[in-house]
Structure 1
Amino acid sequence: ESTEVDVSFGAEGDRSRMFLDVSWTDQNEVLAGDREISEYAIQGFPYGLSSGTPEGRLVFTDPRIGQTLSITSYTPNPFYDPNCWATGTSVSGCDDFQPFTLDDRFNWQPYNYLLTPNKRVSMFAKAEYDITDNTMFRLTASFNKRESTSQAAPEPLFFGPEAGAGDILDNLLWPADHPTNPFGIDMGPDSFVFTGRRPIEAGPRIFEQDVETWYISAGLDGSFSVGGSRDIYWDATAIFSENDATQIKHGAFNAQNISIALGPTDTCDATPGCVPLNWVGPGTMSQEMLDFVTFVQKDVSNQELLDLTLNFTGNFGGFFDAGLIGWAIGFEHREEDGSFTPDSIVSSGFTAGVPAQPTEGGFDVDEAYGEVIIPLWRGDGLERFDISASARYSKYDLFDSDTVFAFGANWAPTESLTLRANFAEGFRAPNIGELFNTGSRFDASIVDPCSNVSPELAGNCAALGVPPDFVQPNPQLSVTTGGNPGLTPETSDTFTAGFTWAAPFADNWNSVEGLLFELNYYDISVDNAIQPPDAQDVLTQCVETLDPFFCDNVSRAPGGTVQRVDGVLQNIGGIDTSGIDWRVQLITAETGIGQFRFEWLNTHLLDYTETIAGPDGDVKISREGTELGSPERAFIEYKSTVNIDWLKDNWSARLAFQYYGSLEEECGGMTAAFELWDDFCTRGQEGNDIDSTLFTNLNASWSPDIGNNGQWTFMVGVDNVFEETIPFCASCDLNSFDGTIYPIPGRFWYARAVIQID
């Protein structure tokens, strides 16, 4: 459910004008557990997948019996007898533990949001005042405030050298004489292998965001004459913008305090507030225990922008009586600064969650540009031929200076046909976050090729120190990400060409008012593209090649578990992409039943090739028609939209069809981690086909006649009328579908009222 209210007001005087707009939005949440496709981590697979469970999973070696066990217990304060496990398997009912199986894994999906709840307030104001007849002062200001809440399952606690949770928890010692230790042996790096506990007693992780953005722009516009016959127009603008963001996280755990609460009792007794932590079995963590090991995390960030511009435009001369040559020159000075300050517990390295460090940075840039538009031919009507050229010089304090050029041509041989072509060089410097954001971590669905290793890779995995019987304990692996101060700017070459044709033969059709065809082709080549490497590719290439180029970015625990894949931003080799966009529009003449407008919009992705560095040189990867999944990125080859509009008197309606073409993906992610290829992937281990989809949307509106007092409009509509099924994605990290392209599953109704008073 979503509610939005928008109020606008405008006024005009003899020399002044003003406009004010205020909007308020309240968006309610949609939980992943409320939709069939996202009820479980893998659609149609009714099991949890996490080793971090409310009861606890313990993988450890008991030296008394020489066995490595993977066990759990559904009994609070359980009893353990090593003799029950002397053969590595349990004797039924012998003690309170049982082997850990798929049925014991935790389903985190019901805690997650498909749609994040938020409240937004936006204010925009603009004022203009004519100082003289040819000089105007303008002022623009805006304020945006967002209060939103994200939610995730309770924070999983992973202990032991195979956990990859940081030095404190990886090397935690749980003494044999600890009052909550039922095993009678020291549990530390020599015995612990991997342990996971999901403390649902603490509730879900709640992330509350408060983001405020201020923007103010002041400037002057004017003109003056040169030689009494040519006007030159100028404008000068100063912009200041600031963004302040605060995030409060509830349900965060302090790894340092966990190690104290599970460590020697004399240390705990000497620490104020410490209560020995009882974590084996369900419901064993009391509020007193949680008060000591949890904390409320507060992170803050700030970004500031100062932008000064000065522009001049005018015209002069000309050729062949085709018109005056238009020109423009301009100058810009821009300063950008940013900072991020995590909670002190986080920056000290004591969090059991995602680590982070404080950072700050900024850069200055001075730019100048010039452009001309040269008319070369004019016909009797709208026929024309123009060419254009421009150049832009950029000087950053962090990078080498650069100059880019652009050239274009527009030719209208008839009044109904326009042809155009443009070539432009591009230059994009990395932004504040890309440069200075310190390393962070997220969990991605990645399959370790050394888990249940194939015979072909067994030797390579052994060389990496992975045991032959290794099984990946969790379907999600940690990926470090963040900015990179060593990044260099992206450069690009872009060529576009197209035409617009208002078909003249349609003028002879009595029932048609207009028929329009438009087509545009693009070809873009980006060098030094800024993006993170694909973590799955890095891990797979490491295992398959053993090349340090890849393996230096993979960290494994002594027992073989991947602790981390490094995925900080890089300048990859480049991106080459091309495609065609075209549309057809037909407008009928008005008749007794009204007027119709038909519009067909189409997008064809012809090529999307990424060039990345490999151990033996550049490697090209074709992405068109594929889904990457982790993180979600879809490269659909064909998308199409058909809009059918009907208008009659004060009524109108639209029927819209949105088509998304099919995709191919690897049968990866959690589907592969649990070897479910044959159950959920259309081509088994070879991959999965994501079906094409067709969404139908409908709305209708009524604008009653209220005379000269303004205009009222009332609209009702429904999106996804027939509840089209969202296709399953095997490699996607969350919810079994790509939320970057497909809407939230289900039918969505809405109503809207617009009241304008003059």
Structure 2
Amino acid sequence: MRSRGQVQVAFHALAGAILLSLYAMPAFSQDSGDKPQQLQSIEVTGSRIKQTEIETQSPVLVIDRKQIERTGLLTVGDILQQLTAGGKALNAKFNSSGNFGFPSDGGGIGAGSAQVDLRNLGSKRVLVLVDGIRWVNESSASGVSGSADLNTIPVSIIERIEVLEDGASAIYGSDAIAGVINIITRKTFDGAEVSGYFGRYSGFGGDTKEGSLTIGGSSERFSAIVNASYFKQDGISAGKWWQSAMPQPYAGLAAGSSGIPQGRFTFCDPARPITSYGGCDAAQENWYDITLNGGTTAPVWDPTDPSAGTYHNFSGADRFNFAPFNLLLTPNERKAIFASATYSVSDTMRLHVRALYNNRTSANQAAPEPIFVGPYAGTGGIADTIYISAQNPYNPFGIDLDPASNLGWITKRPIEVGPRIFNQAVDTWYFNAGLDGTWDFGRGLNWDANIVHSENKADQTFYNGFNLSHLSLGLGDPAICAAVPNCVPIDLFGGQARPMTPEMINWIRSTQVDRSQQKLDLASFNVSGDLFNIIDSRAVAFAAGVEYRRYFGSFDPDPLRQSGESQDSQAKAVAASYHVNEVYGELNVPVFDSLDLSGAVRYSDYSTFGGETTGKVGFRWQPTADWLFRGSYSTGFRAPSIGELYGLTQFGATLTDPCGTTGSPGPAGPEYVAGCQAQGVPASFEQANTQITTITGGNPNLKPETSRSYQVGTVYSPSWAEGLAGTERLDFGVTYYHHKLSDAVGARDIQALLDDCVRSGGVDPVLCAPFTRQAGGNLNPPENKLTNLGTIKTDGVDVKINWSSDEFSFGRLRVALQGTWVHKYEEVDAWGSVSTRAVGVEVSDSSIPKWQINTQLGWAMNDWSVNWNVRYIHKVYEDCGAAAVTGPNIPGCANASMSHELGDTYYHDLQVGWTNAIGVANLSLTAGINNLFNKQAPVCYTCSLNGYDAGTYDLPGRFTYVQASYKF
């Protein structure tokens, strides 16, 4: 037993480690945290050469099963999105259907999926492997994605996750620009294990249930494991969160929609008394912009004095808060079965087979579909051209409303129809068969051959959308409507007091089904081993291989989307394939006893654009047993995905018009006045709607992205610390990283481009090419297709600390830390426009905090363990812009020129574990609370939907869970 003094010293050492690290982290061990030791040769992510060193020339984070269990998380996406090196990626907190439309990358909106981002470079620049082999990209039922859906991989089949925090195109090929995620599955298991899990958010619900059964066995030549799992997560309505459920949008009135239940009517009556403007003037300054008074039972219209009727001028106070209809957490149900088997054909060759089937059903929900008809709708399609007849029995204005002359728009949100529902059904199949073994040519060579077929297929059914052709008939001449079966005149004019009848709803309502599919077929052969010795027993090692891949992707939108008759958005069908042949070689050369140099080169031949060569060099120098220095330099590339090459969609971009934001009529800011005048925008202009439909889509002439990356770092494992103050192990790791992407594929930052256009005078042929305006000043849909737009640069520092104690009388202690400091992030397009995305800035529902730091404090004794995780996110700022329009809820945004601080945020997660519980051998019980202190996400006034950044922050509420597992 240790003395009281030893105990105090141990606690002082623990406190010192905490102070030194500043903050603390989840229990993710890194290879840099382990003291160098001799092990059998293994393949570590980042190199194809089997080696004995745990410390490689590139930093690799390893998360094993125990560490996964300590998080209390049940999805791979949730686990990886807590990495400090990560960035915004889709997850269940993104209610991503509805007005998000179809993003410009052609990949769709990924509804119901979970993705991973490293270094804030986007999920499509992270390569996802399973057992060292590429995983199929997702089908979102809204495009052909270039990213993998981590919800297709059950946590219960995972042995460990290896995260390579370095570029690796020379090792693995395309997509590995920002790093690699390699998920290693369980290969051997004897017996059976059953587990169950239940958790929920306090005050919100979101019940989460999981159960799995694992059965395995082995003999001298054969081993097999089978896992069946079930996961179900209930959705949470945004209406349960006070911030979303307020009568007016918490982020200010400008965050609301002009599609309101009472209707908004912007038009000109040619018979209106002549004013100084004169009739239906081209500048549209003599037009009505009105809405019904609240509680009106029947519209009363007096063109000589509108205020004498039942109308008033539309203002920001009339905007509709759509947030309560959304979801904070999307429902998700998954069923999966996984099997893995190996058979030793001989002493030197083994057959392996792995297969998986995963079914996911999920859903998104949005506020009832708003109806926008007239040129102000700005869709570039049918809605902009709909004509409303004076003969329509519900038209109170008694005149024809013609989009070519006197109609701005009519908007109406018929809440009687019910919310928009988007149901997804996604199936994933994976099959891998292969051989692996050794050849003895004096020096043993390891080899493996694999064939893989994988497929991801998705259907999305959209309920409560509208058919624009039917809507046009119902608003037009009643005589023409009467000649069409089931057609009835449509009432957009009665407000909530006169809702649409069931007959009207049934005539315009439509159910739409979109489908997409991706397939990946792969064949590979790899060999590695030692060539010859040059320093004592240390040999020159190599790896080489060939690989063939064939990709197929398709997106089949509903016929209404393809024809432009869907009110939701328009999209075109895509079906394409391409193939690639690759060959690579890798070499590791010991120069001295303490210094290794390595090099790798890969040649890839694509059927779409031709050949590409990438390379990588690195060093590993260990001058003493305590110190290790390492670094690497690599070139990389990413081939454009099928969606990026061939997709064609519309996207509802949220734009702030510098000539007059929503809810804030002009004049424009002084730097924009000249540009607004040059574009013919009236001085009193007010933007009609923040969501400006943008024509986006693929470009078959895209070139691959290329990158240059380097990292250099050190690992210090002081031997003098062992035994000091009860220390068993103390490790420090620091790594500097730098990535530069050229020819980055993407659409231009449409907000930055619009600002630059107007600021430059409004007529620049390059900056202003996408922008045209209607007579009243509103923007027409800009075209913003994909291009190799410019460069992206980012750099920063990773810091990792691990400390563990000897065995005390009161148990063992440990501290682990991972921190990432982002120095710079900059996107510059080919025309010199700098993206608004930057370090410390909240923009477009995402942010790049300067610091993210995670910690775990752990205690274990006999069958008990306690883990305390602390996650820290540094403050960021958002430009107030249009959010400053209204007031009492936004004290940090008193005017549009201000910045609002989203303050420092800490999350605390506590877990208690008990093995051999209640005296039953192999029974484990776990209970935990994530977000123990109920930290609320900072309010984000410029974020869409629920007023917070779902990619950076946790849901509101504590998440309490219990878990049990029993092995027999």
For the aligned pair, the TM-score class normalised by the smaller chain equals over 0.9
Distance 1:7 1:555, change over 3 A: farther
1:477-496 equivalence runs, <5 A: 477-496=692-711
Q: Which one of 375, 394, 404 corresponds to residue 161 of structure 1?
A: 375
Report the RMSD for the aligned CA atoms in angstroms. Answer: 2.2
Among 601, 604, 608, the alignment partner of 2:821 is 604
The correspondence for 2:603, drawn from 390, 393, 418, is 393
The structure with the largest alpha-carbon Rg is 1
In structure 2, the CA distance between the partners of 1:311 and 1:61, relative to structure 1 (3 Å rule), is same
The answer to whether residue 938 in structure 2 is matched with residue 727 in structure 1 is yes
In the alignment, the residues of structure 2 paired with residue 503 and residue 37 of structure 1 have an alpha-carbon distance, to the nearest angstrom, of 50
Equivalent runs, 1:564-579 vs 2, <5 Å: 564-579=781-796
Task: Report the Cα distance in structure 1 between the residues aligned to 2:581 and 2:880, rounded to whole angstroms.
Answer: 48
Match of 1:417 among 623, 627, 632: 627
Label 1:99 to 1:417 Cα distance change in 2 as closer, same or farther (>3 A): same
| Structure 1 residues 34-63: Cα deviation after superposition (integer angstroms, max 9, x where no partner) | 223333575364797211111211111122
Q: Describe the superposition over 1:401-435 as per-residue Cα deviations: whole angstroms up to 9, x where unpaired.
A: 11111111112222222211111111111122222
Contact 1:510/1:589 (CA < 8 Å) preserved in 2?
no
In the alignment, which residue of structure 1 is the partner of 2:765? 548
Query: Does 2:329 match 1:123?
Result: no
**1:63-212 to 2 correspondences below 5 Å:** 63-66=270-273, 67-73=286-292, 74-85=295-306, 90-91=307-308, 95-189=309-403, 190-212=405-427
CA contact 2:842–2:876 (8 Å) conserved in 1: no
Q: Measure, in 1, the Cα distance between the counterparts of 2:370 and 2:886.
A: 20
Question: Would you say 1:327 and 2:327 are equivalent positions?
Answer: no
Distance 1:734 1:286, change over 3 A: same
- The one-letter code matched in structure 2 to 1:601 is Q
- After superposition, the Cα gap between the structure-2 partners of 1:623 and 1:50, relative to the gap in structure 1 and judged at 3 Å, is closer
Aligned partners of 2:652 and 2:691 also within 8 Å: no
Aligned mates of 1:130, 1:291 — CA distance in 2: 64
Q: How far 1:456 moved relative to its partner? A: 4.2
Q: Is the 8 A contact 2:349 2:438 kept in 1?
A: yes
Q: 1:35 aligns with which of 201, 218, 241?
A: 241
Matches within 5 A, 1:223-622: 223-226=438-441, 229-281=442-494, 282=496, 283-378=498-593, 384-451=594-661, 452=666, 453-545=668-760, 546=762, 547-614=764-831, 618-619=832-833
The 8 Å contact of residues 477 and 562 in structure 1, kept in 2 or not, is answered as: yes
Task: Find out whether 1:698 has 2:913 as its counterpart.
Answer: no
Deviation at 1:156, TM superposition (A): 0.9
On the 8 A contact 1:475/1:673 being kept in 2, the answer is no
Deviations 1:325-381 (A, max 9, x none): 111110011110111111112211211121111112221111100011112333xxx
1:208 Cα offset (Å): 0.5
Residue 18 in 1 paired to residue 224 in 2?
Answer: yes
**Is the Cα–Cα contact under 8 Å of residues 257 and 689 in structure 2 kept in the other structure?**
yes
CA distance 1:293–1:560, change in 2 (3 Å):
same
Worse-matched range after superposition: 160-169 or 150-159: 160-169
3-state secondary structure, aligned to 2:382: helix
- For residues 512 and 525 of structure 2, the distance between their equivalents in structure 1, rounded to whole angstroms, comes to 44
Matched AA of 1:21? N
- CA 443–202 in structure 1, closer or farther in 2 if over 3 Å, else same: farther
**Match of 1:51, as an amino acid?**
S
- In the alignment, the residues of structure 2 paired with residue 303 and residue 459 of structure 1 have an alpha-carbon distance, to the nearest angstrom, of 49
Which shifted more, 737-746 or 164-173?
164-173
The alignment partner of 1:473 has SS state of coil
Q: Give 1:78's aligned amino acid.
A: P
Counterpart of 1:404 in structure 2: which amino acid? T
Post-superposition shift, 1:598? 1.2
Give the gaps of 5 or more residues in structure 2.
1-206, 274-285
- Residue 14 of structure 1 aligns to which amino acid in structure 2? E
CA contact (8 A) 1:629 1:733 kept: no
Change (3 A) 1:710 1:389: farther
1:741 aligns with 2:952: yes
- How far is the alpha carbon of 1:448 from its aligned partner? 3.8
Matched residues in 1 for 2:501 and 2:232: separation? 36
Whole-Å Cα distance in 2 between the matches of residues 673 and 486 of structure 1?
43
Give percent identity, aligned residues only: 33
Distance 1:639 1:64, change over 3 A: same
Q: Distance in 1 between matches of 2:475 and 2:218?
A: 71
How much has 1:475 moved relative to structure 2?
A: 2.9
CA offset at residue 450 of structure 1? 4.1
CA distance in 2, matches of 1:448, 1:61: 25
How far off its partner does 1:196 sit? 0.9
Taking a change above 3 Å as real, the CA distance of residues 421 and 75 of structure 1, as seen in their structure-2 partners, is: same
Decide which structure has greater strand share: 1
Q: What SS is found at the alignment partner of 1:414?
A: coil
- The answer (yes or no) to whether the contact 1:58–1:71 under 8 Å persists in 2 is yes
Equivalent in 645, 649, 654 of residue 867 of structure 2:
654
Cα 1:307/1:555, change in 2 over 3 Å: farther
Paired AA for residue 753 in structure 1: A
Once the two structures are superposed, residues 236-264 of structure 1 have per-residue CA deviations (whole angstroms, 9 ceiling, x without a partner) of: 11111111110100011011111101111
Judge which range, 576-585 or 558-567, deviates more: 558-567
Q: Deviation at 1:182? A: 1.4
* In structure 2, C-alpha distance between the alignment counterparts of 1:445 and 1:112, rounded to whole Å: 21
Query: Structure 1 counterpart of 2:482, which letter?
Result: D
- Distance (Å, rounded) in 2 between the aligned partners of 1:515 and 1:596: 12
Cα deviation digits, residues 81-138 of structure 1 (max 9, x gap)? 22323xxxx13xxx23333233322110001111101111122211111112211111
Q: Which amino acid aligns with 1:60?
A: F
Measured in 1, the distance between the counterparts of 2:955 and 2:640 equals 32
Query: In the aligned structure 1, how far is the partner of 2:440 from the partner of 2:807?
Result: 48
Q: Distance in 1 between matches of 2:345 and 2:771?
A: 64
Answer whether contact 1:444 1:479 (CA < 8 A) is retained.
no
Gaps of 5+ in 1: 379-383
CA contact 1:49–1:475 (8 Å) conserved in 2: no
Contact 1:36 1:43 in 2 (8 A): no
Instruction: Tell me how far 1:646 sits from its aligned partner.
Output: 0.5
- Compute the displacement of 1:481 (Å): 3.2
SS at match of 1:365: strand
Q: How far has the Cα of 1:626 moved from its partner?
A: 2.8
Separation of aligned partners in 2, 1:536 and 1:187:
32
Q: Is 1:59 equivalent to 2:266 in the alignment?
A: yes
TM-score, normalised to structure 2, is 0.73
Instruction: Write the deviation string for residues 129-148 of structure 1: whole angstroms up to 9, x where unpaired.
Output: 11122111111111111101
Aligned partner of residue 210 in structure 2, secondary structure: strand
Q: Aligned pair count? A: 737
Query: 2:731–2:801: 8 Å Cα contact kept in structure 1?
Result: yes
TM-score with structure 1 length normalisation? 0.93
Which gives a bigger RCO, structure 1 or 2 (Cα 8 Å, sep 6+)? 2
> Relative to 1, partners in 2 of residues 1:136 and 1:531: Cα closer, same or farther, differing over 3 Å?
same
| Aligned residue identity for 2:323 | Q
Q: CA deviation at 1:459?
A: 2.9
Q: Are 2:709 and 2:738, in contact at CA under 8 Å, matched by a contact in 1? A: yes
Deviation at 1:79, TM superposition (A): 2.6
Partner of 2:961: 750
Change beyond 3 A, Cα 1:238–1:98: same
